[in-house]
Structure 1
Amino acid sequence: MKRALEIIPAFLSWSILAFFVVIFFTRPLAAAVVIIIFLLYWVFRLLYMSILLILAHHRVAAGKDLDWLKSCQTAKSDLKFGDMIHVVLYTVYKEQKEVLEDSLDALKASLYPKENVIVALAGEQRDKDAHEKLDFLKAKYGGYFKDILVTFHPEDTEGEIPAKGANATYAAKKIKEYLEQNAYDLGRVIISCFDADTCPDKNYLACLTANFLKNPRRYRTSFQPFPVYSNNIYKAPAFARVIEMGSTFWQLIESMRLEKFITFSSHSMSFKTLVEVGYWPVDLISDDSLIFWKCFIKYDGDYRTYPLEVPVFMDIAVGRGFFDTVRVQYKQKRRWAWGVENLVFAGTAFINNKNITFLEKARRCFQILDNHINWATWSIIISFITPMALIWGRAVFKDALVLFNLAYINNIIFHTFSFILILSVVISYEFLPPRPREVSRFIHVLFVLQWLLVPFISAFLGSFPALDAQTRLALGKPLYFYPTPKKREA
């Protein structure tokens, strides 16, 4: 069963692409009809997602005006605000000291009592500079928080792979020992698992606490901020800015579909719940999303992810130059697309769980497949196959009505994309940090024009990495965890 689940995504994705190519050459008219149906489907789907993006934007904008700390203090809850403890866990591997300084400075600026915040810096034993770097950070920031814990994950541990999940789990077990030694109630501890470059919004901890206190199902809920990749946005290439802003938009869209919303990247949850489910997976890459599925299965489907109204700010993945940035972006997106392993994890676990209904299991598996197959195929079909069908069809069937309709629908797609690009430009400006003095004011012209790159990069840095990941999974070729390089220029 496990092997079948590994093969299914790639089989379906390649079958869809092969179907379009074969029918394109053998039955051009039939291909035109199929493409028309496909394009119409995507017109409605894109409009639907645009509506969700607008609604999510309004929700976030409304959250900006709230006094979240006051909301914590006045929340009607069986827990007391003053008893809540936050553990902010940063997983670290070869990131520059300056990257972590930016993150800790942002955490230090939080509008939340820092005497209730414990910072954990989780280093890797195989990182030779980790001890000196983390000891320096503990000494520098120790006076700003309740405590700073430093851990070093040992290398070559049996049953583990060198990945973020193994490091985070090792650190969380050490944190549990610390909390128990100091007689903390785990039910009053919230843990946030952050990448090294994660800079939380000043209202993040207060917003998280308010939602945790008010939520009667707080121990059956993860709390997910929306990531904004803007820490180095003025120094990143245009194509990388577009890709990462698209990732932010996708998370905003997903946040409006609570029935399929799961954890991604930086996230928060009850420490008590984390302990009950056995921490993050130590032998899989997609720890951020798999922790949701561990909870979902552990609690027989009684688990959800709540979208927070405030962001965390992160780095755009960049390399040493233009082409190296292309390589870095491709490898990062392929690692994200490796989240298709969620189907294998959830599908095999569903077999042994008799308390989740068959319909719920089928719905959840379909959602995973739908996301990943569309990710791997739709931009290839729209960017390559549809234009080829138009060119080939005009040469073979010049006067066919169906080809006129195909061109007409393709024109509708173009106008739909134009609307979405304008919407993207408008909303993206909401998330831009202040322009540094050394950056020309004309950068804002580029920030508008950069969205014209979407049709060209959506396949190369969207579908291709996803198809690569699915194919590797189907062939049984493991993907090793790729730690995205994060740095600060002097």
Structure 2
Amino acid sequence: MDSSSPSSSRNSLDTGIDAAKLEAANRYVRWNLLFLLIIFTFLLFPIWMPFTPYVNQVTNVFIIIIIGLFQLIWLVATICAIRRTLAINSRNKLKLAKAQDVESSDATANCSANIRHIVAMTLYKEPMSVLQTTLDSLVEQKNAKSCLSVIIGMECRTPDKEIKRDEVYAKYENKFLRLIVTFHPSGVPGEISGKCSNMNYACRQGLQILRQDVEYNYEKHEHIFTNCDCDAVFDPEYMLELETEYLKLDSADRHSSIWQSIIIYKRDSMPFFVDITGVLRTFFFMGVLIPWNINPMSHYSLSVKLLEEGAFTHPAYQMEDIIALIRYTIMTRREIRIRPLNLISINGPTSGANYADEIREWALQIRRWSIGAGEVFHYFIVKTYRMPGLYLSISWATRFFIYYGLVLCASAIVSVVSPIIVQLINGFATEHDPLFISDSLFSTICFIFLGTQYAFCSSPPSLSAGISLCLVMARAIITKVLGVLQEDYCIGS
């Protein structure tokens, strides 16, 4: 089924945004500036505290407490990651045991006849080989031809889009229940270019087509939606596992849940900084993002009902995954939970033709993550009055800021650099008697904490990631204030 005519009217489908309201929004004084200000204020504590009378007496105690809290957070994250790893291993062992039991294997081989799956992804300039790898992994899902529909959102600016569309149809049209390709028009008022706007258009257009398809019988089935990148490789039992977890819940919980598999990144011939970033992201998936219920990442699943109640994806933002949970919580005015799927999916990391390109692509990706975190903070502050409860609002904001603002941007920098700075500044600052912790004891405790940082595998990689995140976020936001990135970084409130 083809919905990809380039002449598709941009007015034929509501994009879910008020372009006039977005145009009137303040583009320069943004709440993400406060986000950045708080982070840098926190990082400057070790510099100004030793020079402040009376306050300088508790500098050592304060720094030790802060580093200790970071150590506690890393410990909790490590425990959560270990528990998730054990759960995945347990599922794999159970899978092997069932594979030896023919009757048990046959009993779980088929999907529910009442449930159908919809998978959506976007494509711009990515190679077709990348997309084909993703589609091949979907073909391997149980009953893909009878239960699984795929929506591919291309941009009108995608090079050779008609050729790519025809190639996809020729190879995969008969391997799924439905295959839909859309062309997202460019220059829609209020939108910014990127996955958010493309995915928003593709989902709305795709669901409209499925509802109008008489043979599909849309209303007779429950639908589970999976949002993914075009470089995702799914576990062969992803849809089956997702469906099993979906059916365990009652109706209310089904439509208040987002399912997240554990994502690992291909590590073949990757530069060390890309490799470190990928390992850290997998760790944070298991240790922080899922158990702390902050946000899904890369590819995730939810009911189509929740997708529609949450107004799909916001086309005026860049990172549709970071904003997903808080947007759906605000739009539905109920708490949304992230639930783990105990299986592994594979994503492709950033890559370039040479080492310089690798660094450039890696820096651009970190910049996108940094801007994504900042704009979500802005979105939350502007929309916080619509949160379903004060406790949930404060709780989520605290978890979000601790992770993105402190753990990613500050924890390793403070843990490694602040003891050195404090010791150096104490030599120039006015003499004072430190309370409780002397300078020598301070040094000893900091060395112990430095050792535990290595035990958590956090010190070198997290220090690098933290410095990069802070610098890139600062550059992006400062450039925004100067108006250079007005179109790229314009986000609606």
Aligned counterpart for 2:255 among listed residues 202, 211, 219 = 219
| SS state at 2:226 partner | strand
Matched, 1:459 2:466: yes
Partner residue in 1 for 2:140: 109
CA distance 1:36–1:277, shift in 2 (3 Å): closer
Matched, 1:362 2:394: yes
Aligned counterpart for 2:152 among listed residues 108, 113, 121 = 121
Partner residue in 2 for 1:385: 418
| SS state at 1:295 partner | helix
1:350-406 Cα distance to aligned partner (Å, 9 max, x none): 3245xx222222222222222222022223223433333345557888x98622122
Aligned counterpart for 1:33 among listed residues 30, 52, 61 = 61
Rounded to whole Å, the distance in 1 between the matches of 2:478 and 2:403 is 16
Matched, 1:200 2:207: no
Partner residue in 1 for 2:72: 44
Q: Which amino acid aligns with 2:254?
A: R
Q: Which amino acid aligns with 1:39?
A: I
| SS state at 2:236 partner | coil
Aligned counterpart for 1:19 among listed residues 23, 45, 49 = 45
Aligned counterpart for 2:193 among listed residues 162, 184, 209 = 162
Aligned counterpart for 1:132 among listed residues 155, 163, 180 = 163
Partner residue in 2 for 1:435: none
CA distance 1:308–1:474, shift in 2 (3 Å): farther
Partner residue in 2 for 1:270: 303
TM-score, normalised via structure 1 length? 0.81
Q: Which amino acid aligns with 1:15?
A: T
Check the 8 A contact 2:165/2:181 in 1, yes or no: yes
Partner residue in 2 for 1:81: 112
- Please list every run of at least 4 consecutive aligned residues from structure 1 whose deviation after the TM superposition is greater than 4 angstroms: 1-4, 24-30, 66-75, 391-397, 466-479
Counterpart mapping for 1:83-482 below 5 A: 83-182=114-213, 183-185=217-219, 188-216=222-250, 217-230=253-266, 233-254=267-288, 257-258=291-292, 260-337=293-370, 338-352=372-386, 356-374=388-406, 375-393=408-426, 402-421=438-457, 453-454=460-461, 457-468=464-475, 478=486, 480=488
CA distance 1:209–1:134, shift in 2 (3 Å): same
Q: More displaced, 321-330 or 148-157? A: 321-330
| SS state at 1:121 partner | strand
Rounded to whole Å, the distance in 1 between the matches of 2:486 and 2:221 is 37
CA distance 1:21–1:472, shift in 2 (3 Å): farther
1:102-137 Cα distance to aligned partner (Å, 9 max, x none): 111222223454321112211100112222123212
Q: More displaced, 191-200 or 296-305? A: 296-305
CA distance 1:475–1:7, shift in 2 (3 Å): farther
| SS state at 1:150 partner | strand
1:160-202 Cα distance to aligned partner (Å, 9 max, x none): 1111111111111121122212321286111111111011111
**% identical aligned pairs:** 21
How far the C-alpha of 1:472 sits from its partner, in A, is: 6.0
CA distance 1:48–1:456, shift in 2 (3 Å): closer
RMSD (CA atoms): 3.2
CA distance 1:24–1:197, shift in 2 (3 Å): farther
How far the C-alpha of 1:293 sits from its partner, in A, is: 2.0
TM-score, normalised via structure 2 length? 0.81
Check the 8 A contact 2:144/2:175 in 1, yes or no: no
Q: Which amino acid aligns with 1:132?
A: I
Q: Which amino acid aligns with 1:411?
A: F
Unaligned runs of 5+ in 1: 422-450, 482-490
Check the 8 A contact 1:94/1:130 in 2, yes or no: no
Rounded to whole Å, the distance in 1 between the matches of 2:322 and 2:167 is 32
Matched, 1:55 2:83: yes
